[in-house]
Amino acid sequence: IYPDAPVGTISISSGYIMAAPDEIYWTIKGKGGHAAQPHLNNDVIISASQLVVYLQSMLTKFKNPVIPGLLSVTAIHGGSAPNVFPDEVKLMGTLRSFDSDWRTKMHKMIVEKSTEICKLYGTECEVKIEGGYPAVFNNEKTTNFIQATAKEIFGEKAVLDFEPKMWGEDFGFYAKEIPSTFWFLGVRSGSETEMPGLHNSKMSPDEEALVYGTALFVEAVMRYFK
């Protein structure tokens, strides 16, 4: 479903439309102690701070600017008192990519650079990368077929171009093996100009969209097997 588009529309395009999503977990360990004696401690807070800044610079230094990709740190957990350096800080984040070679390169570099940055501050860094599903690639032939079918039953204006997103979707496993097309069903009510996006607890899709989604699925299957 696609909250950015109104009910009665589908959004679709060929080529890469969604990224390969990888989860990354960092654990930075040092020597905690009294905040008034920083010279006796190995500060995991400053290690984590410098690491986050450096990770963002990797996108400008180690990626062709015309290739989509992102690295986001989304959580930092560490410390429990204003006068105490903690022994450990944990971070979480995600790497998103279309290019498999760059993805592999970044996996290796994230581990290497994270270890090096933390070592500068006398701390240790453990990195765990959980590889996600492949990027979603829409086959041109099957995409043209779905577009043509949708235009015939809903009209030309109901078929919108989809701008690729750095989201992730396990449909990528199917698309990697056979020619496939992933399309997006508009679910925004006609009375709304905008609605909360995906993963937002306040997103409330208009159930009328189910009629359009079902109709397109059925019609596409019937035409494909004629």
The structural domains of the chain, ordered by start, are 2-18+135-224 (3.40.630.10), 20-130 (3.30.70.360)
> What is the model's pLDDT at position 121?
94
**Of the listed ranges 120-124, 132-136, 148-152, 193-197, the one predicted with least confidence:** 193-197
> What is the model's pLDDT at position 108?
96
- How much is the average pLDDT of 174-190? 94
**178 to 90, 162, 200, 216: CA distances (angstroms):** 39, 21, 32, 20
- At 100, list the tokens: 């498999």
Q: In a 3-state reduction of DSSP, which class is residue 200?
A: coil
Q: Which tens digit of pLDDT belongs to each residue from 140-175?
A: 999 999 999 999 999 999 999 999 999 999 999 999
**What type of residue sits at position 48?**
A
- At 210, list the tokens: 């189910």
Q: Which tens digit of pLDDT belongs to each residue from 60-112?
A: 888 888 999 999 999 999 999 999 999 999 999 999 999 999 999 999 999 99
**What type of residue sits at position 20?**
A
Q: Phi, psi (5° rounding) for residue 200? A: -95, 130
How does residue 211 score in pLDDT terms, banded at 50, 70 and 90? very high
- At 121, list the tokens: 């501050």
How does residue 119 score in pLDDT terms, banded at 50, 70 and 90? very high
How does residue 216 score in pLDDT terms, banded at 50, 70 and 90? very high
Cα(42)–Cα(104) distance, integer angstroms: 32
Q: Phi, psi (5° rounding) for residue 118? A: -70, -35
Residue 193 has pLDDT above 90, yes or no: no
Cα(210)–Cα(215) distance, integer angstroms: 8
**What type of residue sits at position 101?**
D
> What is the model's pLDDT at position 140?
97
